[in-house]
Amino acid sequence: MTTDGRPGDGTGNEDDRGATARPRSAMRCAVPVDGGALGVAEWDDGVDAPAPAVLAAHGVTATGAAWQLVADRLPGTRVIAPDLRGRGRSSELPGPATLVRHADDLARVLDATDIDRVVFLGHSLGAFVGVRFAQRHRDRLHALVLVDGGLPVVTSGIDAEPDPRRVLGPAFDRLTRSFETVDDYLDAWRAHPVIGPLWCGAVERALRDELQGDGPYRVAVDVDAVVQSLVEFEGGDGYREALIGLTVPTVFVRAGHGLTGGVPLYPHDTASSLLRFLRSVTVVDAPDESHYSLLYGPTGASITADAVREQVAVAARREAARAAHPASGHIRIVRPAPD
């Protein structure tokens, strides 16, 4: 039987600062992309909010449902969270699931939802996708918010091949297993040193969303897509150049703890040495948060949402200024994405 492991209402919406967010309901749709359709979750309060929309890209083994607690903290803001190619409701799409292809898929999502420009929010893998999105679709962006991702990391083992277990820890082992029941899968996550203490209704629903089949259950992730992502995490194939060439306002949210609660993905000195090459980057340090709690923890999700909210507000002011002075407004040039 599933039980909530946190005090309070069990939604995960009460943070350590005494703030309580109101849960929002996600709608589901599918967007045509090369090879099929991309599954998309969307939080929209049904009002014509003047604030720019947020396009949210999840991590390596997650789905768009992972953004629930962050979306709850952004009332009045339209949050669009696709399942990336090779994951969740997009797991049957053909590969290769490269960062460039993810970025172009997400541009198709904006076209389908009739959205011109967004604040791009990416966690882990999603942050890397955001950098490629900025490189290929700069005119679709107001700002980037990179949550504990987007800076190159070493993923290879001594044989120079990507070592998923080295980077993802126990999360990768679950991708190659089958589970007799949904609770078997959830129990495996409850034992996780970081996820277990954060357990709440929103976390459980996000993890349920990762499964496919009617039993035995498997995680709806293409393992080849995961390995492809880890290869690109090291910054090859022009990625470092794309990162250094960022011109869009960018926020980097750095967790003080890693995927299992230990060494962070980006130790302070490592992050500082990489960030000094980047322009217009604001760093938000979250020393008490982990890689996962910035999405799945009430206080961590609030930190992430605060970073997004600030960029949404700045973008809204810019849009208002353009509307007041059309001669200085933004002209969008539509052109094919580079190969």
For 309-339, the pLDDT digits (tens) are 999 999 988 888 877 876 555 544 444 555 5
Owning domain of residue 126: 27-154+226-321
Domain assignment of residue 180, yes or no: no
pLDDT in tens, 198-227: 999 999 999 999 998 888 999 998 888 888
Q: Rounded distance, CA 186 to CA 203, Å?
A: 10
CATH number at residue 277: 3.40.50.1820
Domain assignment of residue 164, yes or no: no
Domain assignment of residue 300, yes or no: yes
pLDDT in tens, 108-165: 999 999 999 999 999 999 999 999 999 999 999 999 999 999 999 876 544 556 666 6
DSSP state string for 152-172? ----B-TTSSB-HHHHHTHHH
Domain assignment of residue 178, yes or no: no
Least Cα distance to 294 among 92, 55, 86, 67 occurs for 67
Domain assignment of residue 38, yes or no: yes
Within 10 Å of residue 162's Cβ, how many Cβ atoms?
19
Least Cα distance to 198 among 147, 257, 251 occurs for 257
Domain assignment of residue 108, yes or no: yes
- Per the structure, the count of domains in the chain is 1
The residue with tokens 């990762």 is: 210
